Structure 1
Amino acid sequence: MAPSFNDENSLFKFVVKDGNGVKGLVDSGLTEVPGQYIQPPIHRIKKQNATVSLENMTFDLSELDGPNHDQVVKSIAHAAETLGFFQVVNHGVPIELLESLKVSAHEFFNQPSEKKAVYLKGVSPSPMVKYGTSFVPEKEKALEWKDYISMIYTNDANALEFWPNECKEVALEYIKTSTEMVKRLLHALMGNLGIKLDDSRLDALMGLRMVNMNFYPTCPSPDLTVGVGRHSDMGTLTVLLQDGIGGLYVKKGEDPSSGKEDWIEIPPVHGALVINIGDALQIISNGRYKSAEHRVRTTSVESRVSVPIFNAPLPMVKIGPLPEVVARDGVARYREVIFEEYMNNFFGKSHDGKKSLDFVAI
């Protein structure tokens, strides 16, 4: 029998403070969506309204080493300038590792709540590891149907000491095997702008790396909820592994006359990784590359996992439009900011599309 939550405070305590998460709610025998998770109609995701299509947006990265190099770079740049999302295959991350990541994510979230709660903010053995639910539940009008474990990479030793045993080795390997791919993509995108990246510039773009494991439990009424609300990522490039269930949507555009939005579902492709442009890269490119506004739908069929790596500038790095790009454009569209200030602003509010960029807009 499902526990009864007499008021919002008792549900908030159970889900957020005690670390039971959405999974704890579902495991308790929940048969309908609690009011705190019901989204306003404008934020709900209608599955039938989304176009399931990513025409010509999956790229074979092995072709960067062959005669089609220039064409692949142009195609990647075009995707970054328009949708802000694309998929890659032959990326150098072993397929077996990707499968192991999905298994490990399920293993972590299928533990008893008290085992996960040791990583709650304030009690976690390391500030680099955080278990939680939703995005910023204290500030959200409607909670997101998602639990997560977040692990910031500083060095291998810290990762092996503090990250959860169920996933630390595969998560660490995921970061290490994807790093070269991220560097190649950044070289390609910056080269397309006429900019050469030396090691110091590259470190400035991807010095902070964080791997998350996201868990979206089955939901009794997916039409009423969201797994993640509409937002863009704050960093440079996000590398995302999604499982075969689907539910990731990216905003393609908006009709100015009707205000109607067009969203595309990013279809799961076995062995592929999803890449999306983050706010930092939009800022650095002076708006040439677009950070992708995206969101996640819940499902009633089976629990979904996804595993993103967020590559971002180091907190104390100053970011702003690169001088070479400003010289070409004739105007800077964003002000310079210490990236930590941008991060604090980003995490200080609930998800709201691409409003975070207003913080640096000129």
Structure 2
Amino acid sequence: MWRENCIPVIDIKPLVDDPEIGSENALSAAKEITNAMEDFGFVTITNYDKINEELIRSLTECMTDFMKLSLEERKNFCVHDDDHGYFPASKDGKEGFDVRIRGINWPKDDGSLDGIFDTRCPTDHFQAAAKNYIHLISSLAKILINSISKSYNFGSKLNDIMPGHRSFLRVNYYPPRESAWTSGSDNAPLNCVEHFDSGIITLLYQDDVGGLEVQNPHNDEWIPVKPVPGSLIVNTGRAFERMSNGRAKATKHRVRFTPNITRFSIPYFVQPNPEGEFWPFGIKEEDRKYEPVKYLDWYNTNIRRYFPEYSQRSTK
């Protein structure tokens, strides 16, 4: 499949309509997602219309207004010892704002969330837009987690470590620049360094500027992920790769630099309870490639490896 030089595009509507995966259409969509995670580690999903242009525009406009503040004013919203708040630019120029609801439970069947919104946002409008986005994207995350659990025969193991989860939303802002930091591997100009995601899955919106690239593990070629209107991108994190005993693949990715253009992306990082232990679920002990590990330890090790500038930001 990698020889096609593109990641698959899958219609998610059968799973949205049947989250318990009882119909043939839902089973087929779940299988397509599983195949994509094992072959690519990335998939573009369509037909989740709750994340619409109006919702995205509301959030990016809030971020645009925030970026009009001086750097010193923006730094008032930094939180260095947690995974929420503003983070200034590092070597690749990207800035962003992380938002989290301390979730007591996974979204309920009616989509409502328990938890405390504990991120100090610049304005009430910013907070409302972020909270609305989290409400809708976390409901989709639950559908995908259920699909994964069923496809890999996890039983309740994955859902058991989701109460008290530390998933969070990030609004990335890539300012217009004339030059960029270059990759150490192929000298490509980059807006975001090459890395793996650490969590279970990431649900990403990228705007029409594009720039996201994934690495073909067979030949190290970088493949552009072209923006598809009305879509989201789902990618496998290294924790899920470990849970699946290596069947699902976490794929290295990056963002290529586009000169003199503002770019936005909005990832939602799905992470379990930091105190939860995980291992290859549904696999006999003698066949497991990985030992049990606490998620907090796993996350901090990985974040230090790929983003040392964020190493003080934990999932506590």
Shift of 1:202: 6.0
> Which residue in the other structure is 2:26 paired with?
69
Distance 1:110 1:70, change over 3 A: same
Q: Deviation per CA, 1:243-294, whole angstroms, max 9, x where unpaired? A: 1101001112233xxxxx1121111112111111111111111111111211
Percent identity over the alignment is 25
> Which residue in the other structure is 1:152 paired with?
100
Structure 1 residue 229 corresponds to structure 2 residue 193: yes
> Which residue in the other structure is 1:245 paired with?
209
Q: Deviation per CA, 1:337-357, whole angstroms, max 9, x where unpaired? A: 1111112212323459xxxxx
Question: Distance in 1 between the 2:280 and 2:49 partners?
Answer: 30
Partner amino acid, structure 2, of 1:83: F
**Alignment coverage as a number of residue pairs:** 282
Partner amino acid, structure 1, of 2:86: Y
> Which residue in the other structure is 1:81 paired with?
38
CA contact (8 A) 1:80 1:277 kept: yes
The DSSP-based 3-state class of the residue aligned with 2:247 is: coil
> Which residue in the other structure is 2:136 paired with?
177
Shift of 1:157: 7.3
Shift of 1:98: 2.3
- How do residues 101-180 of structure 1 correspond to structure 2 at under 5 angstroms? 101-121=59-79, 127=82, 129-134=84-89, 143-154=91-102, 158-159=116-117, 162-165=120-123, 167-180=126-139
Shift of 1:133: 3.1
Structure 1 residue 315 corresponds to structure 2 residue 274: yes
The structure whose residues are more often helix, as a share, is: 1
The gaps in structure 2 that reach 5 residues or longer are: 104-113, 183-188, 309-316
Distance 1:130 1:218, change over 3 A: same
Shift of 1:235: 0.6
Distance 1:113 1:287, change over 3 A: same
Shift of 1:326: 3.5
Distance 1:151 1:74, change over 3 A: same
- How do residues 1-362 of structure 1 correspond to structure 2 at under 5 angstroms? 54=6, 57-64=8-15, 65=18, 67-95=24-52, 96-121=54-79, 127=82, 129-134=84-89, 143-154=91-102, 158-159=116-117, 162-165=120-123, 167-197=126-156, 200-201=159-160, 203=162, 207-222=165-180, 224=182, 225-255=189-219, 261-322=220-281, 324-326=282-284, 330-351=286-307
The DSSP-based 3-state class of the residue aligned with 1:108 is: helix
CA contact (8 A) 1:218 1:298 kept: no
The DSSP-based 3-state class of the residue aligned with 1:220 is: coil
Shift of 1:198: 7.1
The DSSP-based 3-state class of the residue aligned with 1:300 is: coil
Partner amino acid, structure 2, of 1:333: K
Partner amino acid, structure 2, of 1:145: G
Question: Distance in 1 between the 2:38 and 2:83 partners?
Answer: 33
Shift of 1:195: 3.0
Task: Detail structure 1 runs of 4+ shifted over 4 Å in the superposition.
Answer: 155-158
Shift of 1:227: 1.5
Shift of 1:120: 2.4
CA contact (8 A) 2:97 2:171 kept: yes
Question: Distance in 2 between the 1:202 and 1:314 partners?
Answer: 6
Q: Deviation per CA, 1:295-350, whole angstroms, max 9, x where unpaired? A: 1112114110111111111111112111x2235xx521112111111122123234
Distance 1:70 1:158, change over 3 A: closer
Question: Distance in 1 between the 2:119 and 2:152 partners?
Answer: 41
CA contact (8 A) 2:241 2:248 kept: yes
Deviates more, 1:171-180 or 1:88-97: 88-97
